[in-house]
Chains A and B, each alone.
Chain A
Amino acid sequence: MQIYICVKHVPDSAAHITILDKNRIDESISFLLNPYDEHAVTEAAKIKNNTPDSEVIAVCLGKNDAEKTIRSALAMGADRGILITCDKNYDSMVTALALKAAIEQDGTPGLIFTGKESIDAEGMQTMFRIGAVFDFPVATNVVKLDIEVDKAVVDCELSGGITNTYEMSLPCVLGAGKGLNTPRYPTFPDVVKSKKKPVQKIVFTDLNIKDSPAGMRIVELEPLHQARQPKEIKGDAGFVAKEIIRILKQEAKVL
């Protein structure tokens, strides 16, 4: 089985991000493999290890520098990579068409992974658009996955912490969520091995992607300034401690 993981080269969200010309960011900061895609790569590598004759291929549409992100996926267990090089950022429709063209040129997908969203655009659309162009079923925020002979059984987490289980025919498209696994970060030997793995480069324009009838473009980017809303908890230490626990449990839902 050929397992394709669509990976995105995204800016580090912890960096100090500067907006230029009101519609793009200063890209002279670190970029990395989209964190949700790490779960996709980890899961794909796991399936590969349990499935004879399978192969994991990381595919990325991005600028030349995105090879780094492909190398990260290779260090985490992908076998080879395909980088579709372009010199601008495309919306999820064009991205899905380009990924499909590159995947079809390459082989026959048994499974396609994406992350449940990218941390830069947070569009949460690419997996659905890939499903649409291939005519494959799609599930996102996947937190559990079992591949059986001719189907995938997936648990998806919906808002409010509810989980639904679906049976999906194969091939299908899966958007990996955080709960799916703990990413296995590469070690030095993994990185050394990844340098020897092949990365094929395809020029975006050579894929002859037709303009889609509709599209999305960034009109204006504005930094979000979130005002903090501090609240003082008054009372004795015992009360304050109980109140903090209550807030963490009931409001923040982190306990």
Chain B
Amino acid sequence: MTQKKYDAIIIGAGIIGNSIAYELALKGYKTLSIDKLGGSGFGSTAGSCAIIRLYYSSPEGVALAREGYYYWLDWPKYLKTIDPAGMAYYKNTGAMVYKSEHNKNLAPVMESLDALGVGYLELTPEEMKQYLPNPDLRSFHPQKRMDDPDFGKPTGKSINGAVYVPESGYVSDPKLSTHNVEIAARNVGSDFMFNTQVVDILKKEGRAAGVALKDGTIIEAPVVVNVAGPHSYIINRMAGVEDKMNIKTRALRVEVAHVPSPAGVDWENTGIITSDSDTGVYTRPEVGNHVLIGSEEPACDPLDYVDPDDYNKNFTDQLKTQAMRVAMRIPDLPIPNKDQGLVDLYDVSDDWYPIYDKSDLPGFYLAIGTSGNQYKNAPPVGSFMSELIQYCESGNDHDKTPLQYRMKYINRTLNIGFFSRNREINQDSSFSVIG
């Protein structure tokens, strides 16, 4: 069988994979994206809350998120296309992040925001009330499980206040946004194969040389990129690179709850994003006048690392626990008996920071360990991963002299070595979805 010749194969057609394909294609690479599911964004991207927020524990995290934010504002212009299936869009809501000892009362975040010139308001508990329907602003920290008799009992008179960042929001439809990128990439020559599983990474003369598919087909290319989301560690094992990485990735099972807004409150149109480190949950307004609730992994909650091909897709007590943690804060929030929401996977790295890097196998690249918080960064990640591939393929040693990437919107340099597979575990991390 004669095949098209590809310059790069991208394993995974999620938001990150497609962004890399698009950016590589813009640089003239002939790319092939392969996904075992039926379409773009059908993997963990489909379950994403798609929140675009700026608070991260590291200055690099804040800067990258700010850079990403501008791409979402510019979406159709960036993709230079209109997808007939519709275009995803960014909806600005503002985000309120609660201060706590846990996040050093947000001092590092405010410092990063100041450095970038991003506007924000520091709110006292009293001032927070204008953003929330009838809240209870006592402290409930540390969090407990629902069966603990002290669950929901206040532990302090007041939380410490919050930081409100007006330029924050979410993308209307993460799956559609990934399809948008597919269309943009196809326009510049990328190919896509769906319902196709990669089962091995080919090697030739000490380099990656392509992939083997489940049906036995072999596709050759000098560059292979692992963007397999929660399956990333499986692909790394195929390539034989996992043992050589200091930071590893695993699939974490998570639940997201949907509950109706309090009666009389139009949360869908007037609600904000909240990140409450005191109760350990984050929220986002959801269509149908619902509140969508994710966990910030408080210490009492066990982390459920699973086999990404065989895990419990039913709700557990975790879902209600998360809903109840918001209900502590918003006493009028109704909690239906029937659980609603979703179960999905994060690809979590040892320090909850992503790995954007080369690997010990020349030609084999990594964009993994996205730890539940990298949707927003996908476009700039696509951009610097394509530069990284060019940089390494033209003979540079990224491990010794890491690529310095220019973020075009915020006009700053990002040291891509920050995302190295061989870094020490970053102790500044929140070790949670916050990153």
Contacts and interface: CB of A to CB of B under 8 A. Distances in A.
Contact of A16 (B313, B331, B340): B313
A35 B340 CA distance: 14
Interface of B, secondary structure class, is: loop
Interface string A160-192: 000000000000000000000001111111011
A191 B337 contact: no
Contacts of A92: none
Nearest to B320: A30
Contacts of B333: 187-188
Interface string A179-215: 0000111111101100000000000000000000000
B314 A29 contact: yes
A193 to B, nearest CB: 11
B332 interface: yes
Contacts of B337: 32-33, 35, 38, 72, 185
B360 interface: no
B331 A15 contact: no
B315 A191 contact: no
Nearest to B339: A30
Contacts of A183: 336
A30 B255 CA distance: 14
Nearest to A190: B335
B229 interface: no
Contacts of A79: none
Nearest to B263: A184
A192 B136 CA distance: 15
A74 to B, nearest CB: 12
B328 interface: yes
A188 B338 contact: no
* Among B313, B324, B334, B337: residue with most chain A CB under 10 A: B337
A14 interface: yes
Given A30-B314, A188-B324, A12 B338 contact: yes
B320 to A, nearest CB: 8
Given A16-B313, A30-B315, A185-B337, A191 B260 contact: no
Interface string B335-350: 1111110000000000
B331 A185 contact: no
Q: Which secondary structure dominates where chain A touches chain B?
A: loop
B314 A16 contact: yes
Contact of A188 (B314, B316, B327, B336): B327
Contacts of B152: 188, 191-192
Given A30-B316, A188-B152, A192-B152, A14 B338 contact: yes
A187 B338 contact: no
Contacts of A191: 152, 324, 327, 335
Nearest to B313: A16
Contacts of A186: 334-335
Contacts of B314: 12, 15-16, 29-30
A15 B315 contact: yes
Contact of B331 (A14, A32, A38, A187): A187
Contacts of B330: 188
Nearest to B136: A188
B75 to A, nearest CB: 26
A33 B315 CA distance: 15
A30 B331 CA distance: 24
Contacts of A15: 314-315
A183 B152 CA distance: 24
B90 to A, nearest CB: 28
Contacts of A16: 313-314
B246 to A, nearest CB: 38
Q: Max chain A CB contacts within 10 Å: which of B313, B331, B336, B339?
A: B336
Interface in A1-31: 12, 14-16, 29-30
A186 B334 CA distance: 5
B315 A185 contact: no
A188 B328 contact: yes
Contacts of B335: 185-188, 191
Contact of A187 (B313, B316, B332, B340): B332
Interface in B295-343: 313-316, 324, 327-328, 330-340
Contacts of A72: 337
A12 B335 CA distance: 15
A243 to B, nearest CB: 22
21 contacts: A12-B315, A15-B315, A16-B314, A30-B315, A32-B337, A32-B338, A33-B337, A35-B338, A72-B337, A183-B336, A185-B260, A186-B335, A187-B327, A187-B335, A188-B152, A188-B327, A188-B328, A188-B330, A188-B333, A191-B152, A191-B335
- Nearest 4 pairs between A and B by C-beta? A185-B334, A188-B327, A15-B314, A32-B337
Interface of B: 152, 260, 313-316, 324, 327-328, 330-340
Given A15-B314, A186-B335, A187-B333, 14 more contacts: A12-B314, A12-B338, A15-B315, A16-B314, A32-B339, A33-B337, A35-B337, A72-B337, A185-B260, A185-B334, A188-B327, A188-B333, A191-B327, A191-B335
